[in-house]
Amino acid sequence: MPRYALKIEYNGEPFAGWQRQKELPSVQGAIEQALSRIQPGQHTIAAAGRTDAGVHALGQVAHCDLNKDWDPFRLSEALNHHLKPHPVAILKAVHVADDWHARFTAVERQYLFRILMRRAPATHDKGQVWQINHQLDVAAMQAGADMLIGRHDFTTFRSSICQAASPTKTLDELRVEEVQGFSGPEVHFHVRARSFLHNQVRSFVGTLERVGAGAWSPQDVKDALEAENRAACGPVCPPQGLYLAAVRYPDPVFE
């Protein structure tokens, strides 16, 4: 039974998240339904990571098993046809080994978070950014972000419903930069790690926004981390603006 890796882009706004849910629309459910149109029957796909409701993806990765030996390009075209009108696109499909797994073979996840800084309501970027009406001190936020790099107990920045076996993770990158976006000035957070805790990135961004606004100091971020207490975390930012940007594997899968 041939196995295929799928590189997936989606707008998470109309979905209750990646994971299939019985009564609610999900990205996984939409793709599995499209698979059932090209191969009748039940399908279960596995993804590199589960995104929450309202979270987007530029480079989510999943794998599926099919009876037919599809040409990968024709498979992506067929799935995109049957995914309409969902805001989900299969960017690429490739053959992979039978033991290749989208989640367990991955060695790194990369996330992007976008904050739009302007007072006028967002129109084109509505639902795609976290909009705030004040300026942020990017240098101060980076100083706070630097406190989080490395291997730590991230209990403070972990959701109370997180199911990870341990709160200890290694954060490889948390880079903050200001860019000129289409709709106005934006702050982008680039985050890399092998794996993440539930709501970890949104907890980072919400806390660092308080640093950028002047309500917290960079030292407060370090103190919050060392408290190892969820109550010490800053506000958790909304899901709008969060993107699963890329997933890396030992061997480049889509190149």
Identified catalytic residue from 52, 65, 146, 223: 52
- Of 91, 99, 110, nearest to 49 by C-alpha is 110
Please say if 52 is a catalytic residue.
yes
Residue 223 host element (H or E): helix 218-227
Q: What is the DSSP letter of 61?
A: E
Mention every residue, 6+ apart, whose C-beta is less than 8 A from residue 78: 38, 70
| Phi, psi dihedrals of residue 231, rounded to the nearest 5° | -65, -20
Q: What is the DSSP letter of 181?
A: -
> What one-letter code names the amino acid at 226?
E
Q: List the Cα angle 201/250/114 in 5-degree steps.
A: 25
Cα–Cα distance list, 247 to 48, 193, 228, 250, 254 (Å)? 7, 10, 28, 10, 11
Query: Distance between CA 118 and CA 133 in Å, rounded?
Result: 5
Residues with catalytic function: 52
